């Protein structure tokens, strides 16, 4: 690695390594560094080193954002609260943001996505973020993230041990959101659109059922054999 790459890697490690999962611990188990000093050779390019420091900080912030969202329980991170956080970050970093609420999802005929959301008291959302740093007419990269903020398995109910970590079933959407903040802050010369499908998969009298035939946004019909295969139903409509 070049000196700049070594600095960037060290900054990421230091910032990420001092942040743990103890969001609710009364006594913190890890502590942020007050100061970090980079010692460089007179032969090193100071501008390149500073750029590496800045890039490392931005990438570490994006990683820590994703980890924070994943580590919060479903009582805190649910479709509407995730969407609100995405809107806040979009405003902070200059990303274009649009949020589809339940009515808009119905207008878009996103039937497979909405079926997954049917059993929850938390209404679904879809977040669209856009970064236009590339030339007009240049190719656009699309990122699509699964954001099931809690997955009980639906009527195909998971056992308790399998359900314990299902607050993390939105890690795909959290990763996409973290990536978009880094892309915007680094001012990358690319065009990127990110889509995050946000819902819970819960059990109630309105839950979608085994044997139901759903109609996705593109007109494809889907027969449900297992309600714990919800991720593909969400992503099918989000991709469409």
Which of 30, 96, 104, 232 is the catalytic position? 232
Q: What is the DSSP string of 151-184?
A: E--TTSPPPHHHHTTGGGTTHHHHHHHHHHHHHH
Known catalytic membership, residue 136: no
Report how far residue 58's alpha carbon sits from residue 184's, in angstroms, rounded to the nearest whole number: 10
SS3 233: helix
Q: Measuring CA to CA, which residue among 214, 187, 175, 171 is closest to residue 71?
A: 171
Known catalytic membership, residue 85: no
Which of 96, 158, 187, 217 is the catalytic position? 158
- CA-to-CA separations, 147 to 81, 89, 101, 155, 198, in angstroms, rounded: 12, 17, 14, 19, 4
Phi first, then psi: what are they for 143, rounded to 5°? -115, 130
Q: Which residues are catalytic?
A: 158, 232
């Amino acid at each position: 690695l070049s000196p700049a790459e070594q600095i960037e890697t060290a900054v990421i490690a230091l910032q990420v390594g001092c942040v743990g999962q103890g969001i609710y611990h009364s006594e913190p188990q890890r502590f942020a560094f007050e100061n970090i000093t980079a010692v460089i050779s007179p032969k090193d390019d100071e501008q390149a080193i500073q750029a590496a420091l800045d890039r490392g900080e931005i990438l570490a912030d994006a990683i820590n954002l994703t980890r924070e969202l994943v580590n919060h329980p479903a009582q805190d991170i649910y479709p509407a609260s995730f969407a609100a956080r995405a809107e806040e970050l979009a405003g902070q970093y200059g990303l274009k943001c649009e949020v589809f609420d339940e009515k808009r999802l119905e207008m878009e005929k996103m039937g497979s996505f909405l079926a997954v959301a049917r059993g929850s008291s938390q209404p679904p959302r879809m977040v669209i973020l856009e970064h236009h740093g590339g030339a007009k007419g240049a190719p656009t990269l699309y990122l699509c993230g699964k954001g099931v903020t809690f997955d009980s398995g639906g009527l195909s109910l998971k056992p308790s041990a399998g359900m314990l970590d299902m607050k993390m079933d939105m890690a795909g959407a959290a990763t996409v959101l973290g990536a978009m903040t880094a892309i915007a802050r680094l001012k990358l010369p690319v065009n990127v659109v990110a889509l995050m499908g946000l819902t819970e998969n819960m059990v109630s009298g309105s839950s979608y059922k085994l044997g139901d035939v759903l109609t996705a946004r593109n007109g494809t019909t889907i027969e449900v054999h297992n309600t714990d295969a919800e991720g593909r139903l969400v992503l099918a409509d989000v991709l469409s």
